[in-house]
Amino acid sequence: MQGHKLAIAGAMTLLAVPVVVVFWTYDPSESSFFPKCLFHVCTGLHCPGCGVQRAVHRLLHGDLIAALRFNAMVVLALPFLGYSCVAWTFDFQRLLPLRVSSVCHYIVLAGTIVFWIARNIPIYPFLLLRPN
């Protein structure tokens, strides 16, 4: 089973490399071929994913502060996502048994909804959550 996971991880890495190169090379703020957020185009509101492309571009260039300004939730979630991918691939559960209960999934969902609502409130501290 471990070989199967390594093959999937290898394939995903090979697929990710050109995507990373594109995001490193082209700035989504200035390049027209990056897709626009359909939710934002239709409603004028910001979804939880608005700003991710620009945040990834800034992260790849080492600008953590700008990345956080574009989408703090995703930037803060990336280390956990990365750990999850590595833990799944190399079966870290044997080394570090870490159980994620279904309550954790609900907390993440609730946090995403709160972030979505908060970044659309048009008063001062919430304006900082909008991708600028």
pLDDT digits (tens, 9 = 90+) for 51-81: 999 999 999 999 999 999 999 999 999 988 8
The answer to the question of residue 132 being in a domain is no
Q: Averaged over 6-22, what is the pLDDT? A: 87
Domain of residue 108 covers: 2-127
Cα 72 from Cα 91, distance rounded (Å): 29
The pLDDT value given to residue 123? 96
Helix axes 64-90, 52-60, angle to 10 degrees: 90
**Which of 35 and 101 is assigned the larger pLDDT?**
35
Say how many domains are in the chain.
Answer: 1
Question: Residue 26: is its pLDDT beyond 80?
Answer: yes
CA 103 to chain centre: 21
Q: What is the pTM of this model?
A: 0.84
Alpha-helical segments (H) within 26-51? 38-43
Q: What is the mean pLDDT of the chain?
A: 89
